[in-house]
């Protein structure tokens, strides 16, 4: 399986240059021009490593890192900036940034940093797998298997791959059966930010709809996600 890398930079030439360098190394590369676009991308696609510009209009690099740590905690992050300082480097490290490089970084620097970040990610995931029993990673309901690490739902007849946001939402449900979550609580747990209850409903409605659509092939699972009128959702353990 190829590695997925996301480049976040408001400069088109920088995005293109980084994309070309990493594609030649065999990586799958996507790029976006802003922090806001990066957050939208992370909600819908899996990312193994990110290269993020520090200085951008709107959401800056550290803003993106904070959100990414909530939505995609397993992704490694490399921060790039033309305005290096000891203060910004220290701040980056506090936010779990893998590396901090000054522009213009050479292709060799970029490639080596990416390789180190991916090696660190692989080692961390291996430790997590070794430290958890199989039952913590895979849940089974009525013959339906949910792999929380790979974000897949499968049975003898069907297989569905979930986006990071869909997988995170389903993970919250299956690990907290019978617990009623408000819309606001779910947005905080899944997306990593706090909003009003009204805003949370607008954010969750399409996400839950997409998840339910993918689970239609698994009625024993689909039917467990129940809307609690005026409150939020619950994952039922017993069906009528």
- State the Cα–Cα distance between residues 105 and 128, nearest whole angstrom: 32
Judge whether 4-130 and 134-235 match in fold. no
- State the Cα–Cα distance between residues 240 and 194, nearest whole angstrom: 34
| Predicted pLDDT of residue 46 | 85
In the chain, domain spans: 4-130, 134-235
Return the CATH architecture of domain 4-130.
Answer: 3-Layer(aba) Sandwich (3.40)
| Predicted pLDDT of residue 189 | 78
Return the CATH architecture of domain 134-235.
Answer: Orthogonal Bundle (1.10)
> 60: which strand partners?
none
CB 215 within 8 A of CB 223: no
User: How far, in Å, are 44, 89, 180, 186 from residue 165 at the CA level?
Assistant: 6, 30, 19, 11
Which tops the pLDDT comparison, 40 or 70? 40
pLDDT at 134 over 50: no
| Predicted pLDDT of residue 21 | 95
Q: Which of 25-39, 43-57, 156-170, 204-218 has the highest mean pLDDT?
A: 25-39
In the predicted model, what is the mean pLDDT of residues 5-18? 95
Which tops the pLDDT comparison, 137 or 138? 138
- State the Cα–Cα distance between residues 52 and 35, nearest whole angstrom: 9
pLDDT at 187 over 50: yes
Strands 76-81 and 99-102: parallel
**Quick one: what percent of the chain has pLDDT higher than 90?**
33
**Model confidence band, residue 101 (pLDDT cutoffs 50, 70, 90):** confident
């Amino acid at each position: 399986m190829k590695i997925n890398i996301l480049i976040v930079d408001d400069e088109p030439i920088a995005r293109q240059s980084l994309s070309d360098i990493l594609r030649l190394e065999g990586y799958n590369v996507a790029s976006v021009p802003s922090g806001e676009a990066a957050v939208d991308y992370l909600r819908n696609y899996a990312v193994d490593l990110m290269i993020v510009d520090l200085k951008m209009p709107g959401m800056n690099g550290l803003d993106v890192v904070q959100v990414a740590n909530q939505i995609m905690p397993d992704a490694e992050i490399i921060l790039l900036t033309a305005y290096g300082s000891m203060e910004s480097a220290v701040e980056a490290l506090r936010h779990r940034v893998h590396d901090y490089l000054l522009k213009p970084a050479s292709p060799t620097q970029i490639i080596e940093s990416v390789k180190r970040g991916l090696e660190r990610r692989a080692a961390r995931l291996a430790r997590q797998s070794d430290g958890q029993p199989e039952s913590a990673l895979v849940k089974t309901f009525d013959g339906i298997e949910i792999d929380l690490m790979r974000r897949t739902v499968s049975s003898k007849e069907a297989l569905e791959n979930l986006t990071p946001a869909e997988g995170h939402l389903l993970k919250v449900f299956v690990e907290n059966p019978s617990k009623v979550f408000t819309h606001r609580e779910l947005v905080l747990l899944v997306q990593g930010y706090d909003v009003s209850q009204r805003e949370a409903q607008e954010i969750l409605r399409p996400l839950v709809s997409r998840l339910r659509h993918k689970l239609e092939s698994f009625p024993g699972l689909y039917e467990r996600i129940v809307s609690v009128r005026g409150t939020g959702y619950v994952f039922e353990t017993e069906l009528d």
